[in-house]
Structure 1
């Protein structure tokens, strides 16, 4: 069997599905992974104007959990983020929930994810508006990850925080390497999360995991309230590009990439990972059933954004960002230059290929001896060369 996630799912998922209760989101993710770049999803065709080369490009599934098609979408995301980032140092903050709370997350996935976003956002906003730390509004980008290096369930939040903010027309800069004292950050974040969690249970917003009693619930709350929570603030990154590139690898493609899968045999999957404790590349073998389970753990809840923008980076913060860029003396036209999507090139003659068919739009362009020249009126259709016209390709 080919060592790819798609091959594993195509071979094993139907039998796996019969033995496990799955959510609709997990089933949709598996079906998308299996169908990606197959005839089922159709294709695009590009033709050389010399009529000596045809490029056939299969459609991707575009699912967040699919490693087959994440490359181009990750690059598109990265380009947009780089255009939005302010020209300043950025801080990388990682918030991790204690593993004792994992069972609660499994039974209340939407609530836990939303509250993790909210708790990290409010904690950073409130502290950075404090004059002891900055005294103004910054921009930050939050990305939710639920996996560790070995695909275990490990929910944590990566936050990219600008080192420049504003208060009115005053430009404010973080003047240290730690952003906020980490002890203060931990205490405030832990207090918010546990307060909301306790209130949600009291008001019936969340349910307890199967087999948990009221006594278990209180015991877990006591444990995590006394525990040191894992929150890291990494030193300033110039312009934030490095962290943005790191995050772009994980916004799409799921918890494992095909290049990590080494072999699939004897109902086992062997894959490699980098151990963060000693920075060494290691291998792990899992029964195929367990491997699929770990992959499906990390399928996002439908309709829930895994990347969110706050403060100056929020969707409604464009005017504030532009004002800050102006105060910093930047040329806004240059800042918002967009990379044009390039058409494929013919490997034989070097000419740009023409887009001649798309099964997604149910349109094709075919040669006709009767038509000398047709100019497409639809803005999505290219101007056709002599001797071509369009037809509806639907049945």
Structure 2
């Protein structure tokens, strides 16, 4: 099966030759990491099967968070952990987008733009939820993830938040929302736009954004998603990979790359054929600034919150009359699957030793006569 790494190994060197002088340093680093992943260029790892003893030698993984091969298993583990943390209440999925004209600024200043999007959207949520005419809660809890791509790999930065349908009031008691309504989207979008503008002004970057952005309507969408499990499963594949998975690659030749995609609102798979240079460009434009946290937790779901998730579950269950149900409910988290399995018997592999790559050969220098 073709992989994204196969495509980048085939077309990445030529792309670097043509664009190295204009590419961001982080894009060059990611491209080189993925091209070297599991090839032996980063060293080799020796394994032995715990069941049959068969020896296996594999190229070392690059471990880069943008590499689809390295991140394929992590999404499932993250999903299981988030499912275990869901409160016994209904949930909503909120999506915060930015206008087309803002995307050019975000492309030039990704670190500042993404940080401002997170800050503005989370503050808007908390502010509107605290309004006595709205939800009237003191503390809201939610988590979200940054996405920068559309289904055809084009640049489309937006945020998804999974939000429990309620919050904690001033007395620390659970206050529930209706199952089909959380907060009105129009006031939320106005707050989001205003707070994002203020955040950029504080950074001294407001003049670099097209003025037309602030007169456009900003889209915030809110959907009821039941117990939240479906929303978590929707987000999981996108949290630990970038742009597309290996299984979507259909073909790759000397000139082009073909991949599968689905249009928004449709379940029918289509194919898109791109010039190889354009495919590499579209993939690399989603490389995140180094160290940027793309998944964030807020309020009582933050790791820094003083209340444990178990005590929150009991608090919500007591408020909704679900104590009997919660007492007999046991969350089962599937054990993580091994990264590699034996090709002979399917058993787990045991790492034996790591063999580093050979040192680079010195460049010969001419000797004076």
The TM-score bracket by the shorter chain reads: 0.7 to 0.9
Equivalent in the alignment of 2:34: 33
8 Å CA contact 2:111–2:289 kept in 1: the answer is: yes
Equivalent in the alignment of 2:176: 173
Equivalent in the alignment of 1:211: none
Equivalent in the alignment of 2:164: 162
1:254 alignment partner, SS class = coil
Q: Matches of residues 202-351 of structure 1 in structure 2 within 5 Å?
A: 203=204, 205=205, 208=208, 220-221=210-211, 223-235=212-224, 237-276=225-264, 278-317=266-305, 319=307, 321-327=309-315, 328=317, 329=323, 330=326, 334=330, 339-341=334-336
Greater Cα shift, 140-149 or 162-171: 162-171
Q: Unaligned stretches of 5+ in structure 2?
A: 318-322, 358-369
Give the C-alpha shift of residue 266 in structure 1: 4.3
Give the C-alpha shift of residue 316 in structure 1: 1.3
Give the C-alpha shift of residue 338 in structure 1: 5.1
1:312 alignment partner, SS class = helix
**Matches of 1:245 and 1:63, distance apart in 2:** 23
1:86 alignment partner, SS class = coil
Q: Matches of residues 1-395 of structure 1 in structure 2 within 5 Å?
A: 3-20=2-19, 21-39=22-40, 40-48=42-50, 51=53, 53-56=54-57, 58-136=59-137, 137-167=139-169, 168-200=171-203, 203=204, 205=205, 208=208, 220-221=210-211, 223-235=212-224, 237-276=225-264, 278-317=266-305, 319=307, 321-327=309-315, 328=317, 329=323, 330=326, 334=330, 339-341=334-336, 355=350, 357-359=352-354
Please tell me the root mean square deviation across aligned C-alpha atoms, in Å.
Answer: 2.8
8 Å CA contact 1:166–1:324 kept in 2: the answer is: no
1:22 alignment partner, SS class = coil
User: Does the C-alpha gap of structure 1 residues 184 and 32 become closer, same or farther in structure 2, counting only changes over 3 Å?
Assistant: same
**Matches of 1:290 and 1:233, distance apart in 2:** 34
**Matches of 2:105 and 2:46, distance apart in 1:** 45
Q: Unaligned stretches of 5+ in structure 1?
A: 209-216, 363-395
Give the C-alpha shift of residue 253 in structure 1: 2.0
Equivalent in the alignment of 2:364: none
1:319 alignment partner, SS class = coil
User: Does the C-alpha gap of structure 1 residues 107 and 321 become closer, same or farther in structure 2, counting only changes over 3 Å?
Assistant: same
Give the C-alpha shift of residue 128 in structure 1: 1.3
1:238 alignment partner, SS class = coil
**Matches of 2:50 and 2:277, distance apart in 1:** 46
User: Does the C-alpha gap of structure 1 residues 263 and 342 become closer, same or farther in structure 2, counting only changes over 3 Å?
Assistant: closer
Using structure 2 for the length normalisation, give the TM-score. 0.83
Pick the structure with greater CA Rg: 1
1:194 alignment partner, SS class = helix
8 Å CA contact 2:242–2:286 kept in 1: the answer is: yes
User: Does the C-alpha gap of structure 1 residues 269 and 334 become closer, same or farther in structure 2, counting only changes over 3 Å?
Assistant: same
**Matches of 2:281 and 2:351, distance apart in 1:** 41
2:238 alignment partner, SS class = coil
